[in-house]
Amino acid sequence: MHESLRLGLYAIPAFLLLMAVEFLSYRREKEPKADRAGVSARDTATSLSIYAIGQLSNPLNHFIQLPVVVIAAACAPHPLSSSDWRVWAAALVLADLAYYAQHRMGHRIRLLWAGHSVHHSSRHFNLSTAVRLPWLIPGSFLTAVADIPLALIGIPAWMIFLAHSIVLLFQYPLHTERIDRLPRPIEFVFNTPSHHRVHHGANNPYLDKNYGGILIVWDRLFGSYAEETEPVRYGLTTNIDTHNPVKANYHEFTGMLRDIRHARTWRGRAGYLFGPPRAGMSPQQQGRVQPPPPQSKPPSRHRPPGPLTDTTAPHQPTVRTRKQHRSDVVTPIPPGPRRGARVESSHRTRPHPTAPLIRRAERETGLYDATDDAQRFRPTSLTRRARPPDPAPTGQPSHGGSGSPNASRVRRREAMRVRSQDEGPDLARQAREGGVVPCNRGERTAPPPQ
């Protein structure tokens, strides 16, 4: 433990020197790229202030985590020797795997995200972001469960903490936009600045990706790998507008406590505490999805939404359900009205009363037209709605104009007039002799003669 603390103190001058070099490189750049976030003096000061406070409170940060790992190492059945290089190699690889597990827990459990979100709260990606580490966040000791297997297999506790310090130091130069992609073999095995830029991205393709510390193969194995394919937007899904180091350190933790206080059930409180961060915020607060458009209220039965608009074709039956208001917009009736629906038709279903007699008279006079039969002898209308114009038959004179609604009536009268002139009063007698009596209600069989 003391070795890891001493290593962190020795690295501070190197941190400051590399920050200065990066800052000067941005200032001397003549044509800065538009897709780079660059550096900010206020943001850098906030990151350094958080790091300084964390160095002062480091002993308290490890107050619970240290005993957990030490007790697990004391319970190891076969302690390993620190003089064997294979133990060092195993400790470094397993510590990197444990860091991957801790890092993924920090993104998937809101109690742990309350601390890790401090590292992601900067809208810039430079070397000062690497030292933006949280301090004194309650519950952060739970990440020590990932180090218990290392201690149980016999790795000394101090070696575990030292290996974790090496993993963190390796990631410091990865927090930069000045280094582009490295050769493909290195990109395939190790964590690089390109991979870590993806991890700090807040846009949707990069959320919760690339958790690896030294090796990126863990992300490839466990399905959390993503390639840098588009410009990265750094920060949180809902960014904070403060440079106060205390507020930046506790902004997510106070939000979690507020959600727990407003929860109505114990299950909801547990979800805000141990569920993923997106369960603790609404989709609009996360920025992951756009707010839905306002939905209009359903039409009331007693207050129709607007005036009646009849969009149906002429003489087409319409249907209204029982739940619709009478003044609602009607819809065309589907084939075969469904049960429970009231059909409103503009015509009766009984046949035309004088259709058979008129057809017979027209056939005898040569004025019958089969193409116009269905249009002229439609069912009788319930209401006096205007009918569509009857087209004039081909080769026949148009009585009253082809567009006149009374053309069919004129043709029927003309047929009866011509027939009456030719046959006169013999029409009724011939009808009775044939067993058919013409009347206003159609044809019926005449009674037998007495």
Kindly tell me if the per-residue pLDDT of 245 is higher than 90: yes
pLDDT (tens digit, 9 = 90+) per residue, 299-335?
A: 555 544 444 444 444 444 444 444 444 444 445 555 5
Give the Cα separation of 187 and 380 in Å (integer). Answer: 83
Overall average pLDDT of the 358-378 stretch: 70
Tell me the two tokens of residue 182. 């490295």
Cβ neighbour number for residue 251 with a 10 Å cutoff: 19
Give the Cα separation of 21 and 7 in Å (integer). Answer: 22
pTM, to two decimals: 0.61
Order of all β-strands in the sheet with 342-344: 331-332, 318-320, 342-344
Kindly tell me if the per-residue pLDDT of 99 is higher than 70: yes
Given the DSSP bridges, would you call strands 442-445 and 331-332 parallel, antiparallel or unpaired? unpaired
pLDDT (tens digit, 9 = 90+) per residue, 117-175?
A: 999 999 999 999 999 999 988 888 889 999 999 999 999 999 999 999 999 999 999 99
Give residue 112's pLDDT band: very low, low, confident or very high (50, 70, 90): very high
Kindly tell me if the per-residue pLDDT of 376 is higher than 60: yes
Give the Cα separation of 301 and 317 in Å (integer). Answer: 22
Tell me the two tokens of residue 315. 């003489």
Q: What does the domain layout of the chain look like in residue ranges?
A: 2-29+41-282, 354-368+408-450
Overall average pLDDT of the 63-78 stretch: 88
8 A C-beta contact, residue 102 and residue 119:
no
Residue whose entry in the numeric block shows the structure tokens 């044509």? 31
pLDDT (tens digit, 9 = 90+) per residue, 25-48?
A: 888 877 777 667 778 889 999 999
pLDDT at 285: 44
**DSSP-based three-state secondary structure for 41:** helix
- Buried b / exposed e along 261-295 (16+ C-beta atoms within 10 A): eebeeeeeeebbbeeebbebbeeeebbbeeeeeee
Kindly tell me if the per-residue pLDDT of 183 is higher than 90: yes
DSSP annotation of 398: -
Estimate the share of the chain in helix, then strand, then coil, as percent rounded to the nearest 5: 50, 5, 45
